[in-house]
């Protein structure tokens, strides 16, 4: 792990620093701040000052502590949704590649149908039916993203399953379980790790966009997208209040994308040296 980080190029190191800084800020920041995220501490959309580093929001709450707690909400929801997507997509993908036949056919067709849809539109349709509670949002995001995870896992696992050493393992009569955990999983892992990063960014932007449209996380809870929405009017007065939470989200996304790009290059270099 340490050796791998040392081997990263400069872009990936910057990305990793951004991600670590962001996570530390959203975990420890709200604890260290003198204010709570629901406390009214000043005027409406007050400019930045020594007391409120980023100014205040539309009802006079400290914007910095709001962004930190909102960022935490965004990270938690996206992380759970991405884990959910992998928990659904990976086993199905590997199973489809290994079992094949009618099982593969049915799951692949179903996934193709979901993927024929633009993601945000399908999300809106489903949300109109299941409502916007946090568990419903997470479930919906997990299922939507699992289609892409399924496709990727199936493709990689099918490649691996066709390798000679897998044929030999099959002929040797290894158990299915041994086969999955010892042969297939280690070989698909590098691809899945980078995909996890991409899915996480996608989830964070999707949930923020939904909240921005008023159809994601509902008040009194708030994520970064919701903060953009609630402060939207400030822009006509030339205040940056709606831009700052959006910048925080972009900052996180850029960090994760830099790490993913670095990992991809790292894997490519390693494959070349093999």
Partner 1 sequence: MGGASVTTLVLKRLVSGLVTLFLVSLMVFVGTEILPGDVAEAILGQQATPDAVQALRDKLDLDRPAIERYGLWLWDFAHGDLGQSLASGREVSDLIAGRLGNTLFLALTAAIIAIPVSVGLGLLAALYEDKLADKSITISTLIFVSTPDFLIGYLLLLWGAVTLGWFPALSRISDSMSFIEQLHAIALPCLTLALVVSAHTMRLTRAAILSVMNQPYIEMAELKGATRQRIILYHAFPNALAPVLNIVMLTLAYLIVGVVVVEAVFNYSGMGRLMIDAVSKRDMPLVQACGLIFASVYVALNLTADILSLLANPRRRRPK
CB of 130 to partner 1, least distance (A): 6
Residues 170-209 binding partner 1 (CB under 8 A) are 201, 205, 208-209
Distance, in Å, from the CA atom of 244 to the CA atom of 230, rounded to the nearest integer, reads 12
| Residue 193, CA distances (Å) to 9, 35, 155, 197, 255 in order | 18, 37, 15, 7, 15
Does 121 bind partner 1 (CB under 8 A)? Our answer is: yes
Is 14 among the residues that bind partner 1 (CB under 8 A)? no
Among 76, 88, 127, 185, binds partner 1 (CB under 8 A): 127
Question: How far apart are alpha carbons 117 and 126 in whole angstroms?
Answer: 12
Round to whole Å and give the CA distance between 266 and 268: 5
| Rounded distance between C-alpha atoms, residue 194 and residue 265, angstroms | 11
Exactly one of 76, 83, 88, 122 binds partner 1 (CB under 8 A); which one?
122
Q: How far is the CB of 13 from partner 1 (least distance, A)?
A: 15
The single residue among 253, 259, 262, 266 that binds partner 1, judged by CB under 8 A, is: 253
Exposed, middle or buried by CB within 10 Å (0-12, 13-18, 19+), for 149?
Answer: buried
CA gap 187, 272 in Å, rounded: 16
Kindly tell me which of 90 and 142 has the beta carbon lying closer to partner 1: 142
Here's the x/- map for partner 1, 228-247, by CB under 8 A: it reads as: x---x--xxxx-x-xx--xx
Q: Summarize as ranges the residues that interact with partner 1 (CB under 8 A).
A: 112-114, 116-122, 124-131, 201, 205, 208-209, 212-215, 225, 228, 232, 235-238, 240, 242-243, 246-247, 249-250, 253-254, 256-258, 261
């Amino acid at each position: 792990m340490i050796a791998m980080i040392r081997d990263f190029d400069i872009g990936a190191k910057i990305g990793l620093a951004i991600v670590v800084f962001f996570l530390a800020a959203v975990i420890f920041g709200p604890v260290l701040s003198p204010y709570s995220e629901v406390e009214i501490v000043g005027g409406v959309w007050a400019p930045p000052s020594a007391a409120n580093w980023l100014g205040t929001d539309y009802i006079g709450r400290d914007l910095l502590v709001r962004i930190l707690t909102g960022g935490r909400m965004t990270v938690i929801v996206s992380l759970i949704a991405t884990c959910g997507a992998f928990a659904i997509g990976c086993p199905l993908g590997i199973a489809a590649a290994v079992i094949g036949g009618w099982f593969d056919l049915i799951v692949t067709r179903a996934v193709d149908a979901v993927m024929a849809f633009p993601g945000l539109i399908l999300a809106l349709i489903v949300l109109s039916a299941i409502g916007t509670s946090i568990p419903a949002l997470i479930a919906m995001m997990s299922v939507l993203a699992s289609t892409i995870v399924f496709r990727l896992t199936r493709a990689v696992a099918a490649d691996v399953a066709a390798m000679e050493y897998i044929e030999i393992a099959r002929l040797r009569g290894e158990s299915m379980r041994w086969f999955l955990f010892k042969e297939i999983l280690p070989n698909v892992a590098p691809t899945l790790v980078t995909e996890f990063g991409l899915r996480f960014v996608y989830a964070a932007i999707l949930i923020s966009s939904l909240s921005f449209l008023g159809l994601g996380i509902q008040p009194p809870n708030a994520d970064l997208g919701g903060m953009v929405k609630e402060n939207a009017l400030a822009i006509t007065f030339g205040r940056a209040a709606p831009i700052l939470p959006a910048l925080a989200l972009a900052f996180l996304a850029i960090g994760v994308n830099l790490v993913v790009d670095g990992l991809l290059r790292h894997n490519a270099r390693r494959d070349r040296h093999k």
